[in-house]
Amino acid sequence: MATASAAPSTPTEDHRSPESHAPAIPVATARPEAPRPSGLVYLGLVGLAVLAFIFFWATRDSGSVLLIPLGFVTLWAPLYPVIGLAVMLLTLALCFKAKVGTMGAFGVLAFIIMSYWAGSTVNFTLLEIPSRWSNVEPRLMAFLDPNWSYIWTVRDQWLITMSMAVVATLVGCAIGLVLAMFASPVSSPNKGVSQAIKAVNSVVRSIPDVGWALLFVAFIGGTAHGLGPMAGVLALLMFNIGIVAKLLSETIDSVNPGPVEAADAAGANLTQRNRLAILPQVLPGFVSYGLYVFELNIRASAALGIVGVGGIGSAMMLQLNRFAFENVAAILIALIVVVLLVDMFSMYIRRKLL
Amino acid sequence: MNKRPINAGPGSASRPEHQQPAQNSEPGQPRFAPDALDRRPVRPSRLGYNAGMLAVGIIFIAAIYGTGMDARALLDLPASIIRYGQLMAAGVFQIPDETVAGYWSQSFDAMFESVAIAWVGTMVGALFSLPLGFMAARNMSPLPVYVVVRFILSVIRAVPEIIFAIAIMLPLFGFGSGGGGALAGAMALGISSIGTLSKLISEAIEAVDGGPLESSRASGSNHLQLIRWAVLPQVMPEVIAIWLYRFEVNIRASAILGVLGAGGIGSLLSTVFGARDWDRIGIVLVVIILVTMVVDQISAFIRHRVIHGPTVRHGGGEPQEDDGGAPGPGPGPASQAGTSVEKDPAPKSTRAAAGL
């Protein structure tokens, strides 16, 4: 972490301006020392570590206790929070020794606190793996011995999945392009529109794909009503709009301003300007985002089968609920092959187009 | 001397003197005769483009038939959006009594559990992705290692995370929020993060500036010292940015694992949608949006700070006091002190990770 802090060193080469600098004394050859970080802020960080320790203590759910005999009295403390505190203090001491700046030390401390919190929330432990390995073994065996004859029986489902991915990608990219044009301050009519579209887009983006799928399945009915593909396409559509609009509006932000200014100077209106000065510049990026999103869609539609959108995912969940792992394994292997093929195909197109 | 007409047409300025046909013609003749360079450029054929567009259109229409979508469902959609939207809004905006407050806190707990799952998953992925990224970078590792690691990574990237969850992690760690499901989800996310993370990191490493590499080779450093002193300081900001992106992605991805029984917001979502309890659905969605947006903002701030270094005051040119340990200000920012850094977007390779 403390790597590049070798202090912006400009010791030599400054002889021409002796007024502004100290005269060139032997210091010029020595490597400049990093400034000593503020001890007071470090004390504050120690306080933060102690606060975190109290929080960990209050929310612990493991009963392990550390006993600290002091001779006259035996202190006790929960084991894992104490380990956490020790790690935090040790890290702070190391940072202070290495003259890490206060912001860097705060970053490291926040990282440790976050990791401890996350680890204790998910009950992180690897100790149970050996004892539970017997649960996994039969499944892994089934996965290693797939039912090859099953692969061809679900080709209709594959067709539906691919079609869903194509429709969602094309429509999603088209809508995403329009939204991105409105969202980027470079190409949108005014600041208010761009802020509003950005806000809408970040709401769309923050609902995960499975959330959209559940919503649309609830709105119009899932596979049970024969409407799975429709719900799936709509869910993938929202998912794609979020991604494409975000990535593309960032691309538009960093577009070369030359053609835009030229279009403005020639008296183009907004549509003409966007069509002729901005679109050609972002088109390569747009195509590659589209291919990327297509790849995501195939993977996502396999996953969204869980919640009852149509396609290969539904077939997979059906087999999974029957504990027919050989069939699931066959579907998975086909999925891996399809995704790899799509990956290669999109790499080919990208190379061809860009 | 140069009597060429002003309006000699395109290309006349660059035409060499000795080729000018006007040199040996009599005074009556026009001094300029158009040659090949003066022709207007021919518009390139758009056949390929049009054929491509046609193919895309045909595929699109075929795909619409292929899905077997029932377009009539779309007619009911606006009505049901309004109806259920009203129900959800009613749930969100009601005055929270005891039970409703319970719904809110339950949603927040589940969402925080999702964040924790994503964090642990990202950590597991990050742990493996740095060495694998070095192995998958062409300028850092020998060809056999490079080829093998690249292949493994592309297989990992092809497998969706639910497969790791179903096949290995859920039976290994157990189902449910309390019973190890969260850990199973985190491990599945971690394993599947490795592929993307390592690929992006290896691209960052391949794009490294060659100067520091050469100078440390010249001063006799071995491979490890080269990585430590020449490569890591350059790529670390971008690597941290990539990890943060993946963290955001993992929060969203953990929802799908939750539906399978890995805890977090996904489990809650599938419960409330199963019950069709629209009050609670609204509350859960609002919580998801709030927490995700806050986390995204924080991580965007950190990413900006890590990539561009601390904001430097105008004029002085002296770094602020807290410049010290921020993970390497990266290749650029030291030289552009005092300039505005707001316009710089994140590096391209990290942007590609934003969606997944």
**Average pLDDT score over residue span A313-329:** 83
Q: Which residue in chain B has the smallest CA separation from A160?
A: B67
- Is residue A209 within 8 A of residue B252, CB to CB? The reply is yes
Burial class (CB in 10 A: 0-12, 13-18, 19+), B245: buried
Tell me the Cα Rg of chain B: 30
Reported pTM:
0.79
Record: contact A2-B325, CB cut-off 8 A: yes
Nearest CB among A99, A164, A206 relative to B288 is that of A206
Cα nearest neighbour of A294 on chain B: B356
CATH numbers and ranges of domains, chain A: 39-124 (no CATH), 145-353 (1.10.3720.10)
Q: Which residues of B21-33 are buried (b: 16+ CB within 10 A; e: fewer)?
A: eeeeeeeeeeebe
Output the pLDDT for position B356. 40
B115 to chain A: which residues are within 8 Å by CB? 118
The pLDDT of residue A168 is 92
Tokens for A349?
Answer: 């197109």
- From the number of C-beta atoms within 10 Å of its C-beta (0-12, 13-18, 19+), residue A147 rates as middle
Token pair listed for A151: 């692969």
**A to B CB pairs, distance under 8 Å:** 274
Q: Is the Cβ pair A293, B288 closer than 8 Å?
A: no
Residue B205 and residue A145 in contact, taking contact as beta carbons nearer than 8 Å: no
**DSSP-derived 3-state class of residue A211:** helix
Q: What is the pLDDT of residue B353?
A: 44
Low-confidence ranges of chain B (pLDDT < 50): 1-2, 8, 12, 22, 315-356
pLDDT at A224: 61
The distance of A52 to chain B (nearest Cα, Å) reads 16
- pLDDT for the residue numbered B41: 77
Q: What's the rounded Cα separation, in Å, for the pair A22 and A20?
A: 7
pLDDT: is A2 or B287 the higher one? B287
Q: Tens of pLDDT along B133-160?
A: 999 988 888 899 999 998 889 888 878 8
Residue B88 pLDDT = 85
Contact A218 B269 (CB under 8 A): no
Nearest C-alpha in A relative to B237: A1
Split at pLDDT 50, 70, 90, the class of A5 is very low
**Distance from CA of residue B29 to its chain's centroid?**
65
Tokens (6 digits) for A181: 């044009």
Tell whether B75 is within 8 A of chain A (Cβ): no
pLDDT value of position B149: 92
Q: Which domains, from first to last, does chain B contain?
A: 99-308 (1.10.3720.10)
Interface contact flag, B168 A136, Cβ < 8 Å:
yes
Helix (H, G, I), strand (E, B) or coil at A75: strand
Contact criterion met (CB < 8 Å) for A302 and B160? yes
Q: Which of A26-30, A214-218, A227-231 ranks highest by mean pLDDT?
A: A214-218
ipTM value > 0.85: no
Which pLDDT score is estimated for A23?
Answer: 53
- pLDDT tens across B246-267, in order? 999 899 888 888 888 888 888 8
B324 touches chain A (CB under 8 A): yes
Q: Model confidence over A64-111: pLDDT tens digits?
A: 777 777 778 777 778 888 888 888 999 989 988 888 888 888 888 999
Higher model confidence: residue A166 or residue B39?
A166
Average pLDDT of the segment spanning A269-295: 89
Do the Cβ atoms of A103 and B324 come within 8 Å? yes
Min Cα–Cα distance to chain B from A67, Å: 28
Q: How far is CA B322 from CA A342, B303, B312, in A?
A: 47, 17, 11
- Tokens representing A197 are 């579209």
For chain A, the average pLDDT equals 82
In angstroms, the separation between the Cα of residue B187 and the nearest Cα of chain A is: 10
Query: How far apart, in whole angstroms, are the C-alpha atoms of residue A271 and residue A189?
Result: 10
Q: What percent of chain A shows pLDDT beyond 90?
A: 13
Q: How far is CA A272 from its chain centroid?
A: 35
Has residue A216 got a pLDDT over 50?
yes
- Within 8 A of A124 by CB-CB distance, chain B residues are 120, 183, 186
**Which residue, among B255, B251, B249, B266, has the nearest Cα to B355 in the 3D structure?**
B249
In the numeric block, the tokens 């080469």 are attached to: A13
Whether residue A2 is predicted with pLDDT greater than 70 in this model: the reply is no
Alpha-carbon gap, residue A341 to A337, rounded angstroms: 6
| Pick among A205, A210, A220, A283 to test the B interface (most B CBs inside 10 A) | A210
Q: How many CA atoms lie within 13 A of B305 on its CB side?
A: 16
Query: Does B253 reach chain A within 8 Å, measured CB to CB?
Result: yes
The DSSP secondary-structure symbol of A65 reads: E
Closest by Cβ to B232, choosing from A3, A214, A254: A3
Query: Is residue A1 very low, low, confident or very high in pLDDT (cuts 50, 70, 90)?
Result: very low
Nearest-angstrom CA–CA distance, B312 and B296: 24
